[in-house]
Amino acid sequence: MLVTSAVFHVRVLWVAWWYRALFARLSGQRDIVRDNLSRVFPQKSRRAKRALERRILASQGRFYGEILSIERFLPAIGAPEIEGPGQAAFLDAVKAKRPVILLTGHVGNYVAGLQMLTNLGIEAGFLYRTRGNLLLDSRFDRILRGVGQKGFKIGHRRHRGYEGNLRDFITFLAEGHPVVMLGDHRDRKGARLRFLGQRKAPTSLTPAKLALAHDAPLIPCFVLRQGRRCRFRVWMGAPIAPGDPKNMMQAFNDAESRVILEDPAQWSWTIRRW
């Protein structure tokens, strides 16, 4: 077991190095990170931003290394515990079989959060976008099967044919199941809201609208990486107060911004958020 664990961690470190040294440069992801850092931290020196860039790319590389070895990753993470003021509201809704939405982002490794739900005996629906790439899609489908959660794949930009999955996802929520959604995608048709101190971050209002339509608590939830090994903690914020969907999603953006600014390397800065 110790040998297997050592091999897994070496593999994760190798993938992280390969990503940081080669793939991030060749794919243009490093340039996206630099553009985003310059936007959010214009006051930082070039040296400070490069140091932060290296940490961000190392964390992103570890994420890829972990999901590429999902069969060994899941046993390695153990059982992350839930923290934060939203824990009681979430567990109460699950116990009462009422709809509840965990709204997360590209922070830490959300796959560890899905495994946390599995460890608690909770089946949740996870809404995610197709990458438009057969290899990447099959890999993520395999990940969802590995954690035992129910995936609902929807289209991204030009991709069509997934509309029925969105309807099934809404039905799953309406039947009283918990669901997990990502709230920090760049939605070109979304509302222009503030994120990380920057305005005009196109943000989908769908999570807030679903929460209002189904009287479901909308709970910010982030899976935070702890150190270099596969250790995580799950933090749930207080449920967002029902109201105008723009205000609700602004509250989520603010909650995620606070988490990111505490440790910027937790977030995937390769997202074109603005």
Q: Which one, of 204, 186, 195, 199, lies nearest residue 260 by Cα?
A: 195
> How much is the pLDDT for 228?
66
| Domain residue spans of the chain | 2-71, 79-266
pLDDT tens, position by position, 46-102 = 999 999 999 999 999 999 888 888 888 888 877 777 899 999 999 999 999 999 999
Helix axes 110-119, 134-147, angle to 10 degrees: 30
Find the helix or strand (DSSP H, E) in which 150 lies: strand 150-154
pTM for the model: 0.91
Region 15-32: mean pLDDT is: 92
Q: What is the mean pLDDT of the chain?
A: 89
> How much is the pLDDT for 3?
45
Which token pair is 46?
Answer: 């070039």
Region 167-187: mean pLDDT is: 94
CA–CA dist 101, 176 (Å, integer): 10
> How much is the pLDDT for 274?
92
> How much is the pLDDT for 2?
46
